[in-house]
Amino acid sequence: MISLIGKIFDGEKIIEKGTVVIDGDKIVKIVEEESKEGEVIYGNFIMPGLIDTHIHFFGVDEDNLLSWNLVNEIDVAIRSTRDMERILRSGFTTVRDLGSKVAVNLARLQRKGEIIGPTVIASGYSLSITGGNDDPKSLPIDIAQRLSYSFYCDSPYECRKAVRMAIRQGATVIKVYASGAFSQGGKIMPGFSLDELKAIVEEAHRNGLKVASHAYGKEAIMNSVLAGVDTIEHGLGLDEESATLIKEKGVCYIPTLATYEIPFEVDPIVRPFREELVKRHFTEDMRIAISKGLKIALGTDYVGSKQRPHGKNYREAVLLSRYMPNVEVLKSATSIASECLGLHNVGRIREGYNADVIVLNADPLNDIENLSPQHIMYVIKEGQKYKGYALFND
């Protein structure tokens, strides 16, 4: 039994001084006073484990499409195992991988207790059109498909099969590319049609899985929501009409701001258009999302590279704090994130919930930078206590 004593954020509200009692792998009691049962740990701030709803375990040095596909899978596995522990000790107890070659296996090994890390919700391979966002077109098509972390599919029938292939891999969510990213001439690359997206969503939902949609531009956002996806990823190019539809349908919006604050390798011809769209994402897109009251969840799109390293995932919270109060940021990183992922036993400190709780030495309500790894004292993951980076590196 463990008693965590300090200021508590339970995922929704604040308890100025209280105790969270953990027995086994569950939270068994929350009281608004000191209650010393079993091992006692004092902290400045106690809250649910953080959730990153959009990452990739790519395990790469260079951060570009070709590297993501060509990197040696043994290197990916070794680096990603290291990243799993780094993420956990940084306070993240659940992550969602939206396309990689190793995440399904990482999820299985973490569940079996063979590696240290957060719970991983994994899409297995993502779904893309031939010639789409994740197709390295400098390679012959047969080699590209063999090396890719995506299934290429080009009709409603092929898309249904691709969903089934991902499920066969062990996917617990389906990731689709409703659009590409940036192309020459200032246009967004095309992705799945509405009919293809509807087939994907229907097949995924029939199997009890949610669908996450990479969507740049109004057409892709609208098609995704009309098809019935559960989360809009990135969402660059959001406007009043698409935001209204997202709100009406109860779809979650995951802006992944952290991935755009870092310079990214793009064609020089594309760069001005990319910069304009990213600038709009940090201004108009977010203004609309906040004004419409969209359900915003924390997601970084970090991949485990030097530019976007796992362990620094708290950066998304810092960026979100530009647009909302710190307490709302904490909700986006815990209770809202768990709701968006369809999880019912994490993201809150409640009796009967999984004991995924973190203890900090500083209050993020005062300064959101206090979510950084240097302030994470302890991570309780399913009742097991781990030193956070604040103590692990001493």
* Residue 10 confidence (pLDDT) above 90: yes
Q: Residue 394 pLDDT > 60, yes or no?
A: no
Better-scored residue on pLDDT, 186 or 146: 146
Q: What is the largest CA-CA distance in the chain?
A: 65
Statement: residue 25 has pLDDT above 60:
yes
Residue 286 to residue 305: CA distance in whole angstroms: 26
Three-class DSSP category at 4? strand
Report whether CATH 1.10.645.10 matches the domain 2-47+349-391: no
Residue 173 in tokens? 């969510």
**Whether the predicted pLDDT of 122 surpasses 80:** yes
Q: What local confidence, expressed as pLDDT, does residue 369 receive?
A: 98
Residue 343 Cα distances to 53, 209, 319, angstroms: 11, 12, 24
On the question of pLDDT at 376 being above 60, the answer is yes
DSSP run (H or E) holding 373? none
| 8 A C-beta contact, residue 89 and residue 49 | no
Domain boundaries, the chain: 2-47+349-391, 50-341
Residue 275: is its pLDDT beyond 90? no
To the nearest whole percent, how much of the chain has pLDDT over 90? 81
Task: Give residue 276's pLDDT.
Answer: 87
Please report, rounded to a whole number, the percentage of residues in the chain having pLDDT higher than 70: 96
* C-alpha distances in Å from residue 165, one per residue of 35, 150, 341, 394: 50, 11, 21, 45
Q: What angle, 0 to 180 degrees and rounded to 10, lies between the N-to-C axes of helices 218-227 and 240-249?
A: 20
Side chain identity at 161, as an amino acid letter? K
Which of residues 390 and 356 earns the better pLDDT score? 356
pLDDT of residue 266: 64
Whether residue 297 contacts residue 332, with contact meaning beta carbons closer than 8 Å, is answered with: yes
Number of alpha carbons in the 13 Å side-chain half-sphere of residue 137: 6
Considering the entire predicted model, what is its pTM? 0.95
CB distance 274 to 182 below 8 Å: yes
Q: Parallel, antiparallel, or unpaired: how do β-strands 231-234 and 252-254 relate?
A: parallel
Mean pLDDT of the chain: 93
Numbers of helices and strands, H then E, in the chain: 15, 19
Q: Is the pLDDT of residue 152 over 60?
A: yes
Looking at CATH, the fold of the domain delimited by 50-341 is given as: TIM Barrel (3.20.20)
How confident is the model at residue 136, as a pLDDT?
Answer: 75
Q: 178: Cβ–Cβ under 8 A, 6 or more apart, which residues?
A: 191, 192, 197, 213, 214, 215, 220, 221, 223, 224, 229
